[in-house]
Amino acid sequence: MDYLRDHELHDKKVLLRVDLNTPIQDSIVTNDERIIRCLPTIRHIVENKGKLTILSHLGRPKENGVFQSEFSLQPVAHRLEELLGQEVDLVADIENCKSPDSGQITMLENVRFLEGEKTNDPVLSKAFANMCDIFVMDAFATSHRAHASTTGVISYANQACAGMLLEEEVNALSKINRNERRPSVAVLGGSKISTKLNLINSLSDKMDFVILGGGIANTCLAAKGVNVGSSLHEEDMLKEALELANKDNVILPNKVVVSNSIKGKAKIIDVESVRPDEAIFDIAPESFNSIESIFIQAKAIFWNGPVGLFEEPQFREGTASVARMIVASEAYSVGGGGDTIAAAKEIGLLEEMDYMSTAGGAFLEYIEGRSLPALEALKAKALESANN
């Protein structure tokens, strides 16, 4: 792959694809993490006097060439201006999106308003390529989408390279994928085993220990014949869950926090004692006593998903205990996914993790070992440039 830092940018037309798909309420960005994380790339281009045009998507609007105000990047451009202390000129349509002067910033409206974006249309891909001397792909969080602004444009651009955030994400996540730091541990929570089956299988095949929580663990417990009462679990996934639960390196909770309802009285019990009217809402911290040494000895830890209903204070302690053990360990720790970031933030340990990915779907696919179209396109482009 080619990297931004190796390119001369002075007076060059630079087209930068970032992922500024951020939550917005009443025209205000409510979580600016993704904007903050792409600031180093933006500042590098501006300081090196590139003529910068920014591309991003926001949400999933109708791709019909029509502006839809609820998906406008206006609030994002505004927050970016505040963070940079510099004007960001938001342009409504691609025909009028001309490169700014050196060191200035233009942003095109949501690329998903454009016909051909999601179908990776060559006409749109070429139109993007014609806007620049160099295309910079920094949207790791959208690199699993073969869209015109993430993938198609790369083959048509004069030059294409990875931005600083994409480089950082791939470096951190590839350390987990290479699994050279042993023993390695994966902590996987979340509600549905069906959406994470490939990820869990891939991690349980390569990592030394896989600790399961949340609805995922409930489904594995049910598959093993444990009565999980009215706990969240997936009846139609019991066969797959049993295969997983029977692996030697997969660890399920032995003590859990149950209640009759989300707001009901919570109590800690052995996992075998759940009554039909009770539901498991969290792993009890006592459950981790016997496996604390796994965290102490670990050299790499991967974390995705809360192990309980952490949004409710009475069911937060399981996730908080896991997070504390991860950051107390000397292991290289990597986490990611919206819920995981929210949980780590709530618990106050977000900054203590060695790396937190900004991506959701792309992060999971990368860790599963799948190839991501935008990264493949960048590699092919680098090879093509090296051969010319």
Q: Is residue 145 within the footprint of ligand 3PG (CB under 6 A)?
A: yes
- Residues 53, 99, 110, 142: which binds ligand 3PG (CB under 6 A)? 142
Q: Which of 328, 333, 326 is nearest to 356 (CA)?
A: 333
CB atoms within 10 A of CB 160: 27
Which residue(s) pair with 200 in the sheet?
none
Nearer to ligand 3PG, 142 or 219 (CB): 142
For position 215 contacting ligand 3PG by CB under 6 A, the verdict is no
Q: How far is the CB of 337 from ligand 3PG (least distance, A)?
A: 9
Of the pair 141, 164, the CB lying nearest ligand 3PG is at: 141
Judged by CB under 6 A, the stretch of 67-75, 138-146, 157-165, 267-275 that binds ligand 3PG is 138-146
Residues 337-376 that bind ligand 3PG (CB under 6 A): 360-361
Cβ pair 200, 224 in contact under 8 A: no
Euclidean distance between CA atoms 5 and 161, whole angstroms: 9
- Is 44 near ligand 3PG (CB under 6 A)? no
* Contact between 62 and ligand 3PG per CB under 6 A: no
Query: Going along 146-254, which residue ranges are E strands?
Result: 159-162, 184-188, 209-212, 250-251
Tokens encoding 240: 């797959």
**Binding of ligand 3PG at residue 21 (CB under 6 A)?**
yes
Residues 6+ apart with CB under 8 A from 343: 306, 310, 319, 323
Interface size with ligand 3PG, residues (CB under 6 A): 8
Residue from the set 4, 55, 141, 334 that interacts with ligand 3PG by CB under 6 A:
141
Residues 66, 69: Cα–Cα separation, whole Å: 10
**Min dist. Cβ of residue 388 to ligand 3PG (A):** 32
Provide the 10 A C-beta neighbour count for residue 10: 10
Q: Does 60 bind ligand 3PG (CB under 6 A)?
A: yes
The reply on whether position 55 binds ligand 3PG by CB under 6 A is no
Q: CB-wise, 21 or 219, nearer to ligand 3PG?
A: 21
Q: How far apart are CA 78 and CA 105, in angstroms?
A: 12
Residues that bind ligand 3PG (CB under 6 A): 19, 21, 60, 141-142, 145, 360-361
